[in-house]
């Protein structure tokens, strides 16, 4: 619902860890990326999970509804996996902790802040490789603006460039994250 609200002028920009994808570019414009955070599966420590259609067969995997993660699971594992869709990440974390899903797929920063960094988070860990495939996860995260707002996009692009050039971006990164959120 964020893109329709942007287009109807309820606000001027979306800064919500939104992946820059070709599908979204059809409706809105994006600034240059401000982050490119890997996407990860997370499960209880010791969980075996083979990320193939055969290895995922019969597994219940949680994901936030209508996200790039949802599309990735659907496209790669389809009917082999039971995809449990949630309205928000907190609901998904609760079900993972309760054992109602075997694993979740989300971006690593959300997992670290919403699950691993909280009480009981030490019982969970990443499973499998970091996922950054452009086909599903786009070109990083950018600020979405209306296609007609070229001046605003230019100002936001310049602000991101200045923050990276003067070291402020790196200071923020080091304060809140254990890895380079800008990516390659």
pLDDT at 176 over 90: no
How do the domains of the chain map onto residue ranges?
2-35+140-176, 39-137
Question: Whole-angstrom Cα distance, residue 5 to residue 13?
Answer: 10
2-35+140-176 against 39-137: fold identical:
yes
Class of domain 39-137: alpha beta
Token look-up 């949680």 returns 62
Per-residue pLDDT at 24 exceeds 90: yes
CATH architecture observed for domain 2-35+140-176: 3-Layer(aba) Sandwich (3.40)
Q: What is the pTM of this model?
A: 0.81
Q: What is the pLDDT of residue 156?
A: 98
Q: Give tens-digit pLDDT for 109-148.
A: 999 999 999 999 999 999 999 999 999 999 999 999 999 9
């Amino acid at each position: 619902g964020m893109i329709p609200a942007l287009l109807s002028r309820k606000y001027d920009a979306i800064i919500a860890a939104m992946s820059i994808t070709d599908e979204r570019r059809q409706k809105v414009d994006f600034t240059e990326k401000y982050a490119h955070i890997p996407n990860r599966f997370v499960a209880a420590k010791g969980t075996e999970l083979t990320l193939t259609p055969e290895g995922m067969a019969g597994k219940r995997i949680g994901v936030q509804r209508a996200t790039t993660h949802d599309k990735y699971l659907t496209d790669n594992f389809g009917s082999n996996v039971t995809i449990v869709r949630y309205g928000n990440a907190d609901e998904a974390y609760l079900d993972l902790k309760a054992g109602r899903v075997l694993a979740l797929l989300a971006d690593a920063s959300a997992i670290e802040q919403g699950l691993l960094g909280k009480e009981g988070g030490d019982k969970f860990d990443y499973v499998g490789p970091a996922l950054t495939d452009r086909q599903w996860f786009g070109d990083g995260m950018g600020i979405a603006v209306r296609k007609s707002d070229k001046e605003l996009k230019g100002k936001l692009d310049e602000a991101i460039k200045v923050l990276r050039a003067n070291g402020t971006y790196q200071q923020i990164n080091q304060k809140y994250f254990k890895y380079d959120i800008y990516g390659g």
